[in-house]
Amino acid sequence: MTRVPLTLSINGEMHELLVAPHWTLLYVLRTVIGLSGAKENCLEAECGVCTVLLDGKAVNSCILLAEQCRGRSIVTIEGLGTSGQLHPLQEAFIRHGAVQCGYCIPGMILTAKSFLDETSGRVPTRDEIREAISGTLCRCTGYQKIIDAIAAVAAETKGGT
């Protein structure tokens, strides 16, 4: 099968790849590079577990062709914090008990980060936070604590992370 050369910036590192044209960013992240933080589930942009940041904005990596990410900056949950130095959202999720099975959490945290950066300069309402994560499903139904955690970071940082 045809392979096309592609350089992707992922978590600040440049990756030289050979990709098939139909490969999605999610496939490249998980299967080619081995970053398994973004999850594979609905593959139709309904559930949000595949969310990554593309140029700082939350996107569904399951419906984005890897080739569409040429020249752009990708951040996955692996690039957000380290075990020694967690991102404030990661700390808040732990503090508020927002993580149950954990499957949706990478997408949830990156969705929240994108949203808080977008509303930077003001503290979003709880309703806005609910709407912000409407495209990111948690089936443990831990939403209350997830919203608590995001609201806490929003209040501490006035939006923006």
Partner 1 sequence: MSFTVHHPASVSDAVALAERYGADGRFLAGGTDLIIQIHRKRLASQHLIDLTGLAELRAIEDAGDEIRIGALATHKAIERNPLFQGALVALAEAARVVGGHQVRNVGTVGGNIANASPAADVVAPLLALEAEVVLQGAAATRRVRLRDFLAGPGRTMRGDGELVREVHVAKPPPRSATAFLKAGRRKAMEISVVCVAARLTLDDAGRCAAARIALGAVSATTMRAEAAERALEGALLTDDVLRDAGRLAAGACHPIDDVRASARYRRLLVEALVPRALARCVERISGRRS
Q: In the bound complex, what is the minimum distance in angstroms from residue 22's beta carbon to partner 1? A: 5
CA dihedral sign, ordered 97, 61, 158, 124: negative
Binding pattern to partner 1, positions 97-116, x when CB under 8 A? --------------x--xx-
DSSP state of 33: I
45 binds partner 1 (CB under 8 A): yes
Cα–Cα dist 24/91, whole Å: 30
The one-character DSSP state at 2 is -
Gap between the Cα atoms of 31 and 26, Å rounded: 8
The footprint of partner 1 on residues 110-149 (CB under 8 A) is: 111, 114-115, 118, 130-132, 134-136
Collapsing DSSP to helix, strand or coil, 61 comes out as helix
Q: Which is nearer to partner 1, 76 or 136 (CB)?
A: 136
Backbone angles phi, psi at 108, to 5 degrees: -65, -45
Minimum CB separation of residue 34 from partner 1 in Å reads: 23
89 neighbors 151 (Cβ within 8 angstroms): no
Please report whether residue 5 would count as binding partner 1 according to CB under 8 A.
no
Alpha-carbon distance of 134 to 127, in angstroms, equals 11
Site string for partner 1, 52-91 (x = CB under 8 A): --x--xxxx--xxx-xx-xx--------------------
| Residues near partner 1, by CB under 8 A | 1-2, 4, 21-22, 24, 43-46, 48, 51, 54, 57-60, 63-65, 67-68, 70-71, 111, 114-115, 118, 130-132, 134-136
